[in-house]
Amino acid sequence: MTYTLIGTPVSLYSGKVRGYLRWKNVAFTERLSTREVYKADILPRVGWPVIPVVIHEDGSAHGTTLQDSTDIIDHVEACAPGPSVYPDTPRQRLAALILELFGDEWLVIPAMHYRWAYNRDFAQQEFGATSHPHLSPDEQFAAAEKAVGFFSGSVGGLGVNPNSVAAIEAAYEDFLAVFDDHLGEHDTLFGSRPSIADYGLLGPLYAHLLRDPKSGELMRRLAPRVARWAEACHAPQHGLTGDFLPDDEIPSGVARLLQRFAAQQLPVLLDTAEALRSWAEGQAPGTEVPRILGFHKAVIGHGDSQVETDRAIIPYALWMLQRVTDFRASLGAEARASVDEMLRNTGAAKLIDFVPPARLQRRHFKLALAD
Ligand SMILES: N[C@@H](CCC(=O)N[C@@H](CS)C(=O)NCC(=O)O)C(=O)O
């Protein structure tokens, strides 16, 4: 086996990577992220407790360790032959990078909310079964108390609180309606081949919003095509199938999702960028960026349901945004004009004038200012 994925079925970003590896048809085995595996493999290799981790047995002494679902996917894309999850054409590629960010860092809000509001006992049992596979079910449940406290306690930082719950649920249902409509016409976001954005959406939509029982019932009822898409994107595979739509077409459903990104997530990203700009002033190149830069007011929800709430300032998302702006900056004049038109038409014109606050890098599996 060439790759080992360390993760668990209950983990959001593990589902993103697992679905991708299966589609890409690379040989991999999955190792459950038990307590022992954290101690023996994850902490020594990564330096802090996080999944998914991928080890690539590439002939080097200990293999190459990869963390962060995006870095994992990019590494495999660079090493494995065959069709890519990155569209070649400018609009589709830019839209795919944006919607990966929307899935990873925005749909994580409903994913965490629904899990901890409606599926707590299920998730606690699953956490226990992952960490301590050899204990009895009751012991597993008890042993997961602390981890559940950590993860369920983190919803407040995402802006989930009694004031914002109705808005979060309304925005999620709106998202489901738009995506379900889209899937009435296309198998995936950009045609019949899954893109990096399909896997960005798969993270929250699979492990939490489909697999957690109460959330799964809701998704199957409100958006059965989304449920089937998530199952297909996560299914054991099948040869590298499908293609992106010709002529750099942006389907109307994708444009509507980009509008949701522009209306909901983009303002929070821009505010986060200002916080990073202030923080980064006077910091030496290479300095590690804290995971949270304090709190800010953020508007959450969709349309009439929007509310203002307190939320942690999470700079990591700006590293994903940098991928978007780097790609746009790499384009020649004609292609740039084409993507800018798409950004204007979807309400994301602010991305055109956006001046990144500081160059970011991932170093030692953490976010840091560029060297
Ligand atoms: N951006 C990271 C996120 C990874 C992540 O948040 N993983 C969760 C489990 S799904 C975790 O282990 N979190 C521990 C923590 O955030 O402290 C990725 O894409 O891999």
**Any ligand 1 atom below 6 A from CB of 11:** yes
Span 348-363, mean pLDDT? 97
In tens, the pLDDT along 26-62 reads: 999 999 999 999 999 999 999 999 999 999 999 999 9
131 Cβ below 6 A of ligand 1 = no
Query: Is the CB of 222 inside a 6 Å radius of any atom of ligand 1?
Result: no
CA-CA distance, 205 to 216, in Å (whole number)? Answer: 9
Task: Give the whole-number percent of the chain exceeding pLDDT 70.
Answer: 99
| Separation of alpha carbons 319 and 109, rounded Å | 18
| pLDDT number for residue 239 | 66
Range in 98-112, 234-248, 257-271, 338-352 with the lowest mean pLDDT: 234-248
Average pLDDT, the chain: 97
pLDDT confidence of residue 241: 77
User: Any idea where the domains of the chain sit in the sequence?
Assistant: 3-79
The alpha carbon of 216 and the centre of ligand 1 are apart by a number of angstroms equal to: 22
Q: What is the pLDDT of residue 1?
A: 58
For residue range 113-160, what is the model confidence (pLDDT) as tens digits? 999 999 999 999 999 999 999 999 999 999 999 999 999 999 999 999
99-119 in b/e form (b: 16+ CB < 10 A) is: bbbbbbbbbbbbbbbbbbbeb
Measured between alpha carbons, how far is 110 from 171 in angstroms, rounded to an integer? 9
Q: Topology of 3-79 in CATH? A: Glutaredoxin (3.40.30)
